[in-house]
Amino acid sequence: MQLIQLSDWLLDIAFVLYVLSSIVFVVAMTGKNWAGRDPKQHELKYGRTAYWLAVIGFLAQTGYVVTRWIAGGHSPTSNMFEFIAFLDYCIILAYLIIYRIYKLTVIGMFVLPLGVIMLAYSYVFPKEVTPLIPALQSYWLHIHVTTAALGEGILAVGFAAGLMYLVRTVPQDRATKSTRWLEFVLAVVLMLVGFIGMDSTFARLDHKTVFELNQEQENNQGQMEKMKVEYTLPAIVAPNGSTVVKAGPMTPLFEAPAWMEGKDAARKLNTMLWSVISGLVLYGILRLVFRKRLGAVMQPSLNGIDPELLDEISYRAISIGYPVFTLGALIFAMIWAEEAWGRFWGWDPKEVWALIVWLFYSAYLHLRLSRGWIGAKSAWMSVIGFVIILITLVVVNLVIAGLHSYAGV
């Protein structure tokens, strides 16, 4: 019991340290030209502080992984909370490796905030240590999920470097297709931030809306009763054919279409709508504050960084992450599937999406190595690749239910 408490604290400490590290990284990169400073000296000093904050945070998270593993008796990769937190751990690990190779301060300015967002996202899910259901009781759970997460973490660093390349090189003097797409990617990141903010705020406020569905379900006592759905966020969209049992902060504006499957479909749609709305509001506020494109806001901090180096870091991360991902998400997955289900491949949606990620990065590598897609094209692909990974992790788990559907949000 105390061990779990300790592991929770360690994770909280890691979170705080990552936030601090992110802030110091931003100061290191944007404060270079503050009056009376030597830019190089400034970057070096703050960059080093930020790096060490990240290292200590990483050690704290290592402590979390170890203590939770011991307390739970299994690797902390068995539900959505544990998996996202572990993925975050892998992103930071990949960052530390890439930093050791290239010693470039600015990578941290992009990767650490990504780490903060991912860790905050994991906090949205139930945090209890649950015992393993039979399907997960296999050492392949540890091997497959940890390797896949490591691969995805390294690919995430490839994404961060690709995004940096774009922020650095897309000309901001006038609006083009490139600037619009770049703003779109940044807005999507803000949607994730918005979702996390909304969800954690409302979870604390306890303004739940409860609906009763027109379908029945057996309860634990073996009696039939109407299914209930609980919304943490205010309800924009109600489940199809439902009645409100406990009213929340607002009355629903419309009902979800009937074809949306599953009792939680409408709630997921509602969450999605709030993410988009809050992300756009955040984006709007930032635009109003800075009075220019967010890409243009970020660009000065990257001035003086060799874009070719960013391109190479992105490619390097992907070329290291690709074999690790293949091994973890496809090969180990196949071996486990062969053992658990007697077939190594079954076209389960999660399997298919892992294959899609793999095919996409295969295309990336061929385009880069054979067709000379370097620079901007390559950077866009690294961004799209990470979006596909996010779809695989989030959308497929939460929207398309399959053999891999974890319990959770």
Q: Which residues bind other proteins (CB under 8 A)?
A: 1, 4, 71-73, 102, 128-131, 133-135, 137-138, 140, 220-221, 257-259, 261, 308-309, 312, 315-316, 319-320, 322-323, 326-327, 330-331, 334-335, 338-344, 346-349, 352-353, 355-356, 359-360, 362-363, 366-367, 369-372, 374-375, 396, 400, 402
Q: State which residue, 46 or 165, has the beta carbon closest to other proteins.
A: 165
Neighbours of 395 (CB within 10 A): 15
In the complex, least distance from residue 366 CB atom to other proteins, rounded to whole angstroms: 5
CA distance 323 to 361: 10
In the complex, least distance from residue 46 CB atom to other proteins, rounded to whole angstroms: 24
Q: Distance of alpha carbon 324 from its chain centroid, rounded?
A: 18
Distances (CA, A) of 131 to 50, 181, 337: 37, 44, 21
CA distance 120 to 200: 9
Q: State which residue, 220 or 288, has the beta carbon closest to other proteins.
A: 220
CA distance 130 to 78: 8
In the complex, least distance from residue 376 CB atom to other proteins, rounded to whole angstroms: 12
Q: State which residue, 193 or 337, has the beta carbon closest to other proteins.
A: 337
> To which H or E segment does residue 217 belong?
strand 209-218
Burial bucket for residue 289 (CB in 10 Å: 0-12, 13-18, 19+) = exposed
In the complex, least distance from residue 167 CB atom to other proteins, rounded to whole angstroms: 20
Radius of gyration for the chain, computed over Cα atoms and rounded to the nearest angstrom: 22
Q: State which residue, 30 or 169, has the beta carbon closest to other proteins.
A: 169
In the complex, least distance from residue 340 CB atom to other proteins, rounded to whole angstroms: 5
Burial bucket for residue 393 (CB in 10 Å: 0-12, 13-18, 19+) = buried
In the complex, least distance from residue 162 CB atom to other proteins, rounded to whole angstroms: 16
Q: State which residue, 34 or 341, has the beta carbon closest to other proteins.
A: 341
Q: State which residue, 48 or 343, has the beta carbon closest to other proteins.
A: 343
Distances (CA, A) of 240 to 213, 258, 272, 326: 8, 6, 17, 40
Cα 109–Cα 101–Cα 354 angle in degrees, nearest 5: 75
Burial bucket for residue 232 (CB in 10 Å: 0-12, 13-18, 19+) = buried
CA distance 351 to 335: 13
CA distance 170 to 160: 15
- Indicate the residue type of 177: K
Neighbours of 251 (CB within 10 A): 12
Q: State which residue, 88 or 311, has the beta carbon closest to other proteins.
A: 311
Q: State which residue, 154 or 298, has the beta carbon closest to other proteins.
A: 154
Q: State which residue, 2 or 288, has the beta carbon closest to other proteins.
A: 2
In the complex, least distance from residue 146 CB atom to other proteins, rounded to whole angstroms: 17
CA distance 340 to 278: 41
